[in-house]
Structure 1
Amino acid sequence: MKKYCGIILMSALALSGLAAHAQKDPDVGGAAMYPTKNIVENAVNSKDHTTLVAAVKAAGLVDTLEGAGPFTVFAPTNEAFAKLPAGTVDTLLKPENKDQLVKILTYHVVAGHMTTMDLKRKIKMDGDKTVLKTVEGGTLTATMEGGKIVLTDEKGGTATITIANVIQSNGVIQVVDNVLMPN
């Protein structure tokens, strides 16, 4: 009888864990983000990331971000892109500026699957800040400020993670409030 009750209890805990996980799929830009979909499949549904999606398409990075990964993408919102000087986004989306656009977008990507828990652990282990190598080849410095993770780019600009741990089949999206710039 004890063994039978234990099996029932374990089954109930497993099912409640599945239900809890199902409820954790965050909404980003008014759309549910599903961990069974890849970065691009989820991002195209976010109304807060239409500029990022257009930029990824213009840069020819769709196939890469649909690939196996894993990738951690620090994904600027439309509002983040709107903070750039007037005309910047339109200029970057022109075919003749594709190399610059690729450089900026890949600067927002780190190889591997990094949750905020992973980032906080690295920040603590490395002495209050950690340096992340981007796919572009540059670095981002992650620190904690007021309980939030802040990324500092090579030019001294900062972005704060506003929606954390949007788990994807090929990585994780960390939504940020500013566009980060490489050197």
Structure 2
Amino acid sequence: MRPPLKYFLFFLLLSFSFTINAQSNDLSKDKSITQNTSESDHHKILIAAVKATEMAEILDCSGPFTVFAPSDAAFEKFSNTKIQELMDSEDKSELKSLLMYHIVAGNLTASHILKAMCRGSGKASFTTIQGKKLIAHMEGYDIVLTDPIGNTARITAADVNQKNGIIHEIDSVILPTRM
């Protein structure tokens, strides 16, 4: 007889938590999401978009927030020209909507995501500050996020703690609507 999915996810949660906690974190927990992201070599495009939409102050002073932060490689995979077009546009509402779709209110650690998946029979839903839902599920040992269009992003670095939240680096840009 095969053990129920919740037991598998529980044991996976334990092993994932140990893996995440074992990773070194070179960012300071005494700095805000914006300050640490500005210092990152992997998030130059993200921080440029945050500054272009004037969201830096929100991510500096408010919170806590959980940011699913696309790496520069994720933005390049999405489309360098589309991101630049959104940043150069006078109307930043579409870019702001895109960024807000990568943010969830509260401290959502990897273990919280995994526990929610255990309660949800392998899936968990989180509402972004943009107002749309992200669905989390497991593929192998990876937490994968799915947007309403069906695009997916894997969490490649989890639980990077900030003074006002948590950053999880993801390998793809997720979208609230078609862009």
Q: Determine if the TM-score, normalized by the shorter chain, exceeds 0.5.
A: yes
Question: What do residues 38-64 of structure 1 show as CA deviations (whole Å, max 9, x unaligned)?
Answer: 101100011110000000000110011
Is the counterpart of residue 100 in structure 1 residue 94 in structure 2?
A: yes
**Contact 1:150–1:158 (Cα < 8 Å) also in 2:** yes
The aligned counterpart of 2:173 is 179
User: 1:63-85 CA deviation, whole Å, 9 max, x = no partner?
Assistant: 11012300000000000000123
Matches within 5 A, 1:116-127: 116-127=110-121
Task: Indicate whether 1:47 and 2:52 are aligned.
Answer: no
SS of aligned partner of 1:137? coil
> Aligned residue pairs: how many?
156
Greater relative CO, 1 or 2 (CA 8 Å, sep 6+): 2
SS at match of 2:114: helix
Q: CA deviation at 1:169?
A: 0.4
TM-score by length of 2: 0.84
Unaligned 5+ runs, structure 2: 1-21
What corresponds to 1:77 in structure 2?
Answer: 71
Percent of matched pairs sharing the same residue: 39
Q: Which has the larger radius of gyration?
A: 1
Q: Distance in 2 between matches of 1:96 and 1:166?
A: 33
Aligned to 1:114: 108
- TM-score, normalised by the number of residues in structure 1: 0.82
**Misfit runs of 4+, over 2 Å:** none
Letter of the structure 2 residue corresponding to residue 59 of structure 1: T
1:19-39 deviations in whole A, cap 9, x for unaligned?
xxxx9651xxxxx21111110
Q: Give the structure 1 partner of residue 18 of structure 2.
A: none
- Give the match's secondary structure for 1:121: helix
- Please give the secondary structure, in 1, of the residue aligned with 2:134: strand
Cα distance, 1:95 vs. partner? 3.7
Give the equivalent residue in structure 1 for 2:163.
169
RMSD of equivalent CA atoms: 1.3
Q: Following the alignment from structure 1 to structure 2, what is the Cα–Cα distance between the partners of residues 143 and 174?
A: 15
